[in-house]
Chain A
Amino acid sequence: MTTPPVIVQPDLEAWVWSNIRGLSPGITSFAYAAEQVFPGWVYTHFIQVDARAKRKDAARALAEQARQVIYALAETPWPDGAVVYVQPVEGPLWLPDDDGLPRYVTRYEFRVHPLAPPGAITTAGEPASPHRRKAASARSTA
C-alpha cells in the first residue's frame, strides 16, 4: 500500500490580501468558509472584502478598485498556486458599520489549486496533478 502524496494548499487569503492591501488603509479582507471541490486538489474559498472610507462614494470607488484587482487574480502569476475561478457571490452591498462609518461589503468565491512542482511524481508513479495525468494519458494514447 502506498501513501498518497501530501499536496500543500496555497494560502489564498494571504495572496488576496497582499494584492489589495495597497489600495487603501480602509480595505480589509478575511476568509469565512472553504470547501473542497476535488479532494486534495481544488478548493473553493469564500472571502469577504470590506471597503471603508469617510464618504459613501469613496467607499464605493474603493470596492470597485478591489473588485478589479480581484478579478485580475485569475490571470496574475502566483508562485504558490493558480486561481481558476473568481466571482462575487454577494454585493458590493452598502452596509455601514454600527457606528455609521461608510462601508461596502463584497463576498467572493474563489477556486484554487496548488502548482505541482516540475517533474513531480507521486509515490505510485502517477503524475501529481490532474492536468499532468491528462497530459500523460494523451501522450500514452497517441
Chain B
Amino acid sequence: MAGARFRVIDRHAPRKAVDPDIREITERIAQDASADAPRLTGRLAASYRVARGVAPAVYLVTTDVEYAKYVEYGTRNMAARAPMGRALAHARR
C-alpha cells in the first residue's frame, strides 16, 4: 500500500449511510412522545413533527404548541410530564 492515495469525493458519505436509520429513530421518538403526551384537547400530542436538520443524519422533533415547554419541563406550580424526555431516554437505552 506504500504510496497509495485516496481522495474524498463525498465527505458526507458516512452521514448519508446512516441517514435512513437516524430518521427512523427520530420518527419513533416523535411517536413515543405523542403517545406519552397528556391529552385534554389532543393538540400537543398531535403536534410533534420530524424535520430535517442542516446536515445529513440530523433530524429534529419539533412542536409549535406554545405551552409544550411547560408540559415538558414543568413549572413551579405544575409537575413536568416530560413526554420528549421519556421518549429520548427510551431511545438512548
The verdict on A98 contacting B75 (CB below 8 Å), with A30-B80, A35-B90 known, is yes
Instruction: Chain B residues near A103: list those with CB within 8 A.
Output: 76
Interface size on B, residues (CB 8 A): 18
The verdict on A33 contacting B75 (CB below 8 Å), with A44-B93, A95-B69 known, is no
Q: Does B20 contact A (CB under 8 A)?
A: no
Q: Does A75 contact B (CB under 8 A)?
A: no
The verdict on A105 contacting B92 (CB below 8 Å), with A48-B80, A48-B85 known, is no
Interface residues of B in 17-68 (CB under 8 A from A): none
| Interface of chain A, main secondary structure | strand
A103 to B73, CA, bound (A): 11
Instruction: Chain A residues near B74: list those with CB within 8 A.
Output: 48, 50
A30 to B78, CA, bound (A): 13
Chain A: minimal CB distance from B70 (Å): 6
Instruction: Chain B residues near A99: list those with CB within 8 A.
Output: 75-77
Instruction: Chain A residues near B86: list those with CB within 8 A.
Output: 32-33, 46
| A105-B73 in contact (CB<8A) | yes
Q: Does B9 contact A (CB under 8 A)?
A: no
The verdict on A44 contacting B76 (CB below 8 Å), with A33-B82, A95-B69 known, is no
A32-B86, A48-B80 given; name 8 further pairs at CB < 8 Å: A32-B85, A33-B89, A35-B90, A44-B92, A46-B86, A89-B88, A98-B70, A105-B73
Interface residues of B (CB under 8 A from A): 69-70, 73-80, 82, 85-86, 88-90, 92-93
Interface residues of A (CB under 8 A from B): 30, 32-35, 37, 44, 46, 48, 50, 52, 89-90, 95, 97-99, 101, 103, 105, 107, 109
What are 29 A-B contacts with C-beta separation under 8 Å? A30-B79, A30-B80, A32-B85, A34-B89, A35-B89, A35-B92, A35-B93, A37-B93, A44-B89, A44-B92, A48-B73, A48-B80, A48-B82, A50-B73, A50-B74, A52-B76, A89-B88, A89-B92, A90-B85, A95-B69, A95-B73, A97-B75, A98-B70, A98-B77, A98-B78, A99-B77, A101-B76, A103-B76, A109-B92
